[in-house]
Amino acid sequence: MERLNRYIIGSNASIFQKIDPTKNVEVFLPTNEEEIKEAITYAREKNLPITTKGGGSGMSGACTGGVRNKVVISTMRLKQIHELNFGKGYAIVDPGLTADEFNEKIQKKQPNWKFFVSPSSRDIATLGGMMSTDGGGNDAWLAGTMVDNVLSVEFFDINNNKIIVERIDDDLSKSKITCDDKNLEKQLIDKGLSLLDIAGSHGVLGVVSKLKVMIKTMPEAGKESYAVIHANNLNNFGKIIYGLIEHDIPLTYGETIVEARHPDISGPTNPPMFILKYPTEYDEKVQAICNDINKVDFTSVDLEEFEVMAEIRVKMAKRNPPEGFQMALFEGYGIYGENLLRFEEIITTINASLMKHTFTPFIKFGHAPSVYYEDNKKIKGIIMHSREKRPENLTPKVVFDGIVGCVETCEKLRITPKPEHKWPFQKTTEKHKRLIELTDVLGKQFNPFLLECSLEELAELVL
Ligand SMILES: Cc1cc2nc3c(=O)[nH]c(=O)nc-3n(C[C@H](O)[C@H](O)[C@H](O)COP(=O)(O)OP(=O)(O)OC[C@H]3O[C@@H](n4cnc5c(N)ncnc54)[C@H](O)[C@@H]3O)c2cc1C
């Protein structure tokens, strides 16, 4: 059983799947704070690093802890809701609860209330994992990402100090810090530790043990319009996203198909295209955005046509090419700002990098407009997913070289690699610098491989 635990705990959704169960020296499945502390004490006394694992749905491999000897603390049994306060619009929850489990419990009590962060992986992604990757969902454009929906976070450091970080107001870069160790508290206040630091920290600051999050009522269903928009080229496609952002259109559904090399997808959808839903009062505005751009076709559709398109879009991620199989070599790209106006060049460069490494581009799709944080700055753009045709000569080296090629391409084009994960291994980012600064104070025993790993160590994780 213990051996099985070590195997199971290593599995995850990323392409970094090579598990050496013996490196998971001890696996803890705490059910309460005391047991979290016992696990931390064990690791500290054995001088082993700690990797905290939520649902394992992260796409960066961060929850694997790399190939190093380590203690794994799984939050799979930390699923309690400590308070549901509909009057004040918050809940206090354990970190191992999934978004789906949380919403099911909320809606049992109040059917029209909701926790608004819902990644497509909401059936397995935990609230602790979502905080640590700053997850967002299809509706992030209106609902924001995890950090926008969190009021406070509690976490434990390597000495079992409980640190509470609370939102003060709308300025997320400022938080109230509380800790029994007043010396540590002062150091963290001096460093300006905030909820933005914990969001996307990939478990390097400590074990998130509790979260206070916002819950809200679902908006009254008003009159909504549905539209399908086609652009004749990728630059015009990017201009549409630019326009929707500039005019702050409150889309309740904004999905795109950027390219598709499968006749069953490209035939009925004719990419690049958008599938949109928005309040009817914005009809004129959305049409005006399209009319301002050369050769863009705006078509009003009814609910039935909208649902047909939305269904094709959702199923794309599971559809194989006519011959062979699709794979997500490098799942996500965040494209924003003036880059939206040179979309053609961006896609051509990404595809050239994929082909150089023997991957044939297959489909690209995304949420647009959407939001994510980069170096604590809120970015508005497209979160684009990419799927490639699996090459016949697939080896760990081919995969890894392809991924490194994608990261270099992102750097060259100044686009964000993997928005959900901000590619945590990238050492050139402000986020990386900031986490090093904070771990100088908090200790470096949590997921250290993430901040200091080499390409060789990462390559070892590819199956
Ligand atoms: C099919 C699919 C669809 C997806 N769709 C989306 C999407 O729409 N939006 C989106 O944002 N993401 C999406 N993702 C990515 C993934 O679901 C998110 O990154 C999610 O937030 C990860 O949560 P998790 O519980 O699985 O975390 P894990 O993968 O277990 O861990 C992720 C990171 O968080 C750390 N961590 C986990 N729990 C804690 C804790 N309690 N304390 C400290 N550190 C912790 C881990 O150490 C690791 O570094 C998708 C993934 C898949 C497979």
The predicted model scores a pTM of 0.94
**Ligand 1 centroid from CA 13, angstroms:** 9
Distance in angstroms (rounded) separating the CA atoms of residues 106 and 114 = 7
225 φ, ψ (degrees, to nearest 5): -110, 155
Domain ranges in the chain are 2-76, 81-217, 224-417
Q: What is the pLDDT of residue 208?
A: 98
Q: What is the pLDDT of residue 138?
A: 80
**Ligand 1 centroid from CA 319, angstroms:** 23
- Say if domain 2-76 classifies as CATH 3.10.20.600: no
Q: What is the pLDDT of residue 423?
A: 81
Q: What is the pLDDT of residue 317?
A: 82
Q: What is the pLDDT of residue 15?
A: 84
Is there a cis peptide before residue 30, judged by omega within 30 degrees of 0? no
Fold of 81-217: 3.30.465
Q: What is the pLDDT of residue 205?
A: 98
Q: Which atom of ligand 1 is nearest to the CA of 136?
A: 11
Q: What is the pLDDT of residue 214?
A: 98
Residues ≥6 apart with Cβ < 8 Å to 86: 109, 110, 113, 215
The answer to whether 328 and 365 are in contact (CB under 8 A) is no
**Ligand 1 centroid from CA 297, angstroms:** 37
Q: What is the pLDDT of residue 3?
A: 67
Q: Which CATH architecture has domain 224-417?
A: 3-Layer(aba) Sandwich (3.40)
Q: Where on the phi/psi map is residue 423: left (φ > 0), alpha (ψ -120 to 50), or beta?
A: left
Q: What is the pLDDT of residue 2?
A: 65
Confirm or reject: Cβ of 145 under 6 Å from ligand 1: no
Q: At what angle do helices 234-246 and 343-356 cross, to 10 degrees?
A: 130
Q: DSSP strand E in 304-404: where? A: 326-327, 332-336, 360-374, 377-389
Q: What is the pLDDT of residue 1?
A: 58
Q: What is the rounded average pLDDT for all residues in the chain?
A: 94
Q: What is the DSSP string of 26-39?
A: EEE--SSHHHHHHH
Do 81-217 and 2-76 fall under one CATH topology? Answer: no
Q: How confident is the model over 194-222, as pLDDT tens digits? A: 999 999 999 999 999 999 999 999 888 78
Q: How confident is the model over 48-77, as pLDDT tens digits? A: 999 999 999 998 889 999 889 999 999 999
Residue 192: alpha-carbon gap to chain centroid: 24
Q: DSSP strand E in 75-223: where? A: 81-85, 90-93, 113-114, 150-156, 162-167, 175-179, 207-214, 216-217
Pocket residue to mutate for ligand 1, from 15, 63, 208, 365, most atoms within 8 A of Cβ = 63
**288: amino acid identity, one letter:** A
Nearest to 115 by CA among 128, 100, 129: 100
Those residues of the chain that have pLDDT short of 50 are none
